[in-house]
Amino acid sequence: MSTAPTPGPRAPGKGPRPQKKFFHRRKFCRFCTDSNLKIEYKDAQTLRDFTTERGKIMPRRITGNCAKHQRELTVAIKRARTIALLPFVVSEG
């Protein structure tokens, strides 16, 4: 005798979902495309674009940065946090 549960009846109208077609816009590294932009820890306004509202560093898959510039950005954000240009954590209140 098997103890595996048998699938119950499906709810009406709950068949397989049709496949949605997604169009993914190609993300590009902002620093590779514009050579005038530099990553500096002193430029807090630019670094804020790459942090969440809670103060966390956004990942590459969200920002679209290349690996080289994401590493530079991470170091710059951490330096800016150390000298209090950026917050480590944003307090709720």
Residue 74 inside a domain? The answer is yes
pLDDT band at residue 26 under the 50/70/90 scheme:
confident
Contact 32, 70 (CB under 8 A): no
Query: 86 burial class (0-12, 13-18, 19+ CB within 10 angstroms)?
Result: buried
For the chain, the domain total comes to 1
Distance CA 71, CA 77 (A): 10
The predicted-structure confidence for 40-53, as pLDDT tens digits, reads as follows 999 999 999 999 99
pLDDT at 22: 74
pLDDT at 49: 93
Range of the structural domain that residue 57 is part of: 30-82
Residue 70 inside a domain? The answer is yes
CATH number of the domain that residue 35 is part of: 4.10.640.10
62 CB-near residues (< 8 Å, 6+ apart): none
pLDDT at 10: 57
Residue 31 has pLDDT above 90, yes or no: yes
Residue 53 inside a domain? The answer is yes
